[in-house]
Amino acid sequence: MLFLENVLLALSGLRANKMRSLLTMLGIIIGIASVIAIMTLGDSISSSVTESMSSMGANNITVGLQQKSTTEETTESGMTFSMGPRGTEMSDEDYVTDEMLQDLEERYADSIDGFSLTESVGSGTAREGSAYAYVTATGLNADALENTDLTLLAGRTLTERDQEEARKVVLVSDLLVENLLGTSNIEAVGKTINVLFEERYYAYTIVGVYEYEESSLGFSSSSAEDTETTMYMPLQTARDQNHNTSGYSQFTVLTADGVSASELSTTIEEYMNSRYYRNNNSYEIGTMTLESVVESMTEMLSTVSLAIAAIAGISLLVGGIGVMNIMLVSITERTREIGTRKALGATNGSIRLQFITEAIVLCLVGGAIGIVLGIALAAAGTNMLGYAVSPSVTGIVLSVSFSVFIGVFFGYYPANKAAKLNPIEALRYE
């Protein structure tokens, strides 16, 4: 009951001295608003990046060839240093072959759902009269196509027969159809387009049109006409165009549900290096998972956000000093009131609790205003950057907790000073 009375008394004091209270809370408001805004902005960016990378296949494993180091040196402390790559060009014997992939799939059948194989043809320009469209051409197999998040608007997807016969058929975006052909998506199916790659034109037949989506990471061209979209073709078509008969320098392992990508990537790397590349003096297998990249990026963004928030939190310390200062002034102004209460029987503990409560209420009100302001600033910032706002619950809890701590810490000294006042001297105070 006494605590509730103290709260009401503190709120009454805030209303009686609005401007002074606002100036006192200003440091708390700015500090908490800064912390909330920075942590919310960091969490929003982190969530958006994580979702984007997860949609790209965070649980898949990228396997590729990398050059071996020439020599290794071990220091006295036991640390090993590699002395640079060998710098040799890849030969036909270095590439990963279909036989290796088949062996890998059979060996780890319970953990592998398939292999995403792609072949980059490069960037080109599709032309139709005076109209043009920029494309980047990629060949992919059935697993890679299935793993690509495409929304088909017209026509069909690439079939197994397209893959086997290496047909010159492609999937193009609706943006390409609009810029190049100026027809509907349905009318575009079956049409032939000519694409210029390195001073040579190649003809392809459109068999399907997919919906173009801008990158969720926020990268976009200055205009729709100059936007480069992806043109998909059968893997073997791309390999024939590149005159590639050697094998693969890189592929992606599609992991089965419930399989740890990190553990499987280590297993695959060790197996392939010991089975196929032990006697290869120039190249070896290296693996990477987007899962580890996502974890590292999330950890980095969180660390940066916390570091900046900690710097912004310095203003909370300044605000706490302001609270202590105003409480000392308040005690001086209310010396006779304190003396009267003590003369009427108020204990030191009740006087101390009264002023600590006032300090806490002052900080909590400032904290509430700071939270609202911080979320508003974060929402404006995330909208400007094109991300979805994700309020930082951790930041809010920490800020409120810190506000209470500041109220107790910086309010205790003035409260204790008030509690120790001699009632006779307090009553004589002018």
**Which tokens belong to 26?**
């200003």
Taking each helix axis as running N to C, give the angle between helix 348-385 and helix 393-419, from 0 to 180 degrees, rounded to the nearest 10. 150
Query: 151 CB contacts (<8 Å, ≥6 apart)?
Result: 210, 211, 213
The pLDDT tens digits of the residues spanning 65-114 come to 898 866 555 555 454 555 555 556 778 888 899 899 999 999 999 999 88
Ordered by start, the domain boundaries in the chain are 2-53+297-428, 118-241
Q: In what order do the strands lie in the sheet with 250-255?
A: 112-116, 250-255, 61-67, 283-289
**Which tokens belong to 258?**
């419930």
Task: Point out the least confidently predicted range of 13-17, 84-88, 276-280, 322-326.
Answer: 84-88
DSSP state of 221: -
Instruction: Evaluate if residue 223 carries a pLDDT over 50.
Output: yes
The pLDDT tens digits of the residues spanning 26-51 come to 878 887 888 788 777 777 777 776 66
How many Å apart are CA 272 and CA 217, to the nearest integer?
Answer: 34
**Which tokens belong to 295?**
């974890």
Average pLDDT of the residues in 4-19:
72
Task: Point out the least confidently predicted range of 158-162, 386-390, 424-428.
Answer: 424-428
Q: How buried is 310 (Cβ within 10 angstroms: 0-12 exposed, 13-18 middle, 19+ buried)?
A: exposed
The pLDDT tens digits of the residues spanning 149-179 come to 899 999 999 999 999 999 999 999 999 999 9
**Cα dist from 259 to 186, 254, 265, whole Å:** 41, 10, 10
- Output 153 or 359, whichever has higher pLDDT: 153
Task: Point out the least confidently predicted range of 54-68, 170-184, 275-289.
Answer: 54-68
If pLDDT is split at 50, 70 and 90, which confidence band does 183 have? very high
How many Å apart are CA 244 and CA 154, to the nearest integer?
Answer: 31
How many Å apart are CA 140 and CA 233, to the nearest integer?
Answer: 7
User: HEC string of 382-398?
Assistant: HHHHCCCCCCCHHHHHH
Under DSSP, is residue 97 helix (H, G, I), strand (E, B) or coil? coil
How many Å apart are CA 351 and CA 295, to the nearest integer?
Answer: 51
Task: Point out the least confidently predicted range of 258-267, 334-343, 359-368.
Answer: 334-343
Any bridge partners for residue 128, and if so which?
A: 131
Residue 78 Rama label (left phi>0; alpha psi -120 to 50; beta): left
Return the closest-CA partner of residue 195 out of 240, 261, 252, 134: 134
Q: What is the pLDDT of residue 171?
A: 97
Q: Residue 341: which H helix or E strand, with range?
A: helix 335-343
Q: What is the pLDDT of residue 206?
A: 96
Average pLDDT of the residues in 405-410:
80
Average pLDDT of the residues in 216-242:
78
Q: What is the pLDDT of residue 218?
A: 46
End-to-end CA distance of the chain: 32
Q: What is the pLDDT of residue 77?
A: 47
How many Å apart are CA 33 and CA 379, to the nearest integer?
Answer: 12
If pLDDT is split at 50, 70 and 90, which confidence band does 1 have? very low
Q: Residue 196: which H helix or E strand, with range?
A: strand 192-197
**Which tokens belong to 367?**
């904290």
Phi, psi of 391 (to 5 degrees): -55, 135
- Which one of 82-91, 266-275, 385-394 scores highest in mean pLDDT? 266-275
- Output 57 or 306, whichever has higher pLDDT: 306
The pLDDT tens digits of the residues spanning 124-143 come to 999 998 899 999 999 999 99
Any bridge partners for residue 214, and if so which?
A: none
Whole-number percent of the chain with pLDDT over 90: 28
Q: What is the pLDDT of residue 271?
A: 93
Averaged confidence pLDDT in the chain: 81
